[in-house]
Amino acid sequence: MTVLTQEQIATLTALRHELHRRPEVSGDEGQTAERIIEELTAVGADQIWQGLGGHGVAAAFSGATEGPTVLLRCELDGLPIHEISDIAHKSETEGKGHLCGHDGHMVSMLGVAMALAIRPATGRVILLFQPAEETGAGAKAVVEDTRWPEIRPDYAFAYHNVPDRPLGEIGLRPGPGNCASRGLQILLEGKSSHAATPEDGVSPGPAMAALMQALPALGTGMIGEDGFALATLTHAQLGEPTFGIAPGRGELRVTLRCMTDERMDALVADAISQVAQHTDHLEVKLRWNDIFLSVTNDAEATDIARRAAAGRGHDLYEMPTPMRWSEDFGRIGGDGAKSAMLYVGAGENHPQLHNPDYDFPDALIPVATDLFCGIVANILGAAQT
């Protein structure tokens, strides 16, 4: 089922290809935002907010009477990854690509905007085009924007396409949906020396060797279990690429990942403790990056989405475990709304997210649009002509 005409689907598909050719990375989505504003203006949004938390954009579509606010969120940013593809709409910007599907998420929400030419019976719909999702910075900046109270929803929904699942299948999971994660950068400063007299220096090497074993060992359990934790070593650098200098500085980067924010607090404390145990002879600096809260799906919001999907003939998949990867939607849902992240299959043999040959399946545009229109109708009532 779809609420869109074939002409509208063709228009949205062409727009996705346009956005795919011109990706912008987190914090630099200005041209993408301007293009979205053009489309929202053309379909007659009742109000448009610009520059939310950076380059974020939001648009309101209001019903005839008061009622709840339903927010539907998508993402503006691409990735700093070189695209390897022979598709006609391949990225025209070297080293940048829409290799996560945010171009498709945007046009799906623009499809909802087209359908909202016929407004809901009550309340209002907010379409949020969020900046900087990939770094975990965008949702925090949006929620901290002074205009957020004008937008703050009662319900919030988002979706992500999921390779390795059947095309168009709707995945649902009440409770933990996406893991919390954060990047830990460990900077170690000792004292360099001549390679012939390493005893006259203070090398971070032994501490790094110990931490490269101790930090990953903090991981426990399997995804889906309350105690699940994962610590992944992602980068290590010791000294300079020479043969005459015993190293005086080093760096480690580790990504911490848990199902819940409470478990993350404990994992952070354990990681800091391990660093302290192995580096008492060194100067140490810790920096935290890419901080994502967990996505915890509200039972009522998930059930609303389930009924909308089933009622419109979409295949459903009750997910037994959360996604390991993180999603910045956790801060939107954590701001008081009843929220749910949905997971729409991108095809069982589709390239993985962040692969250099990834491309969003155009067939998902009408599927996602129809799903979100169903959610809006279930909460705000039948559209009014």
Residue 35 CA to residue 44 CA, distance in Å, equals: 15
So what CATH class is 6-177+294-380? alpha beta
Per-domain residue ranges of the chain = 6-177+294-380, 180-292
- pTM attached to this predicted model: 0.95
Question: What is 180-292's CATH topology?
Answer: Alpha-Beta Plaits (3.30.70)
Q: In what order do the strands lie in the sheet with 283-292?
A: 229-238, 249-258, 180-189, 283-292
Instruction: Report pLDDT for 203.
Output: 97
Q: Are 304 and 312 in contact (CB under 8 A)?
A: no
Per-residue pLDDT of the chain (385 residues; tens, 9 = 90+): 578 999 999 999 999 999 999 999 999 999 999 999 999 999 999 999 999 999 999 999 999 899 999 999 999 999 999 999 999 999 999 999 999 999 999 999 999 999 999 999 999 999 999 999 999 999 999 999 999 999 999 999 999 999 999 999 999 999 999 999 999 999 999 999 999 999 999 999 999 999 999 999 999 999 999 899 999 999 999 999 999 999 999 999 999 999 999 999 999 999 999 999 999 999 999 999 999 999 999 999 999 999 999 999 999 999 999 999 999 999 998 889 999 999 999 999 999 999 999 999 999 999 999 999 999 999 998 766 5
Residue 197 CA to residue 245 CA, distance in Å, equals: 9
Domains 6-177+294-380 and 180-292 share a fold: no
Question: What is the length of the chain?
Answer: 385
Torsion sign over Cα 374, 377, 382, 385:
negative
Other CB atoms within a 10 A radius of the CB of residue 251 amount to: 16
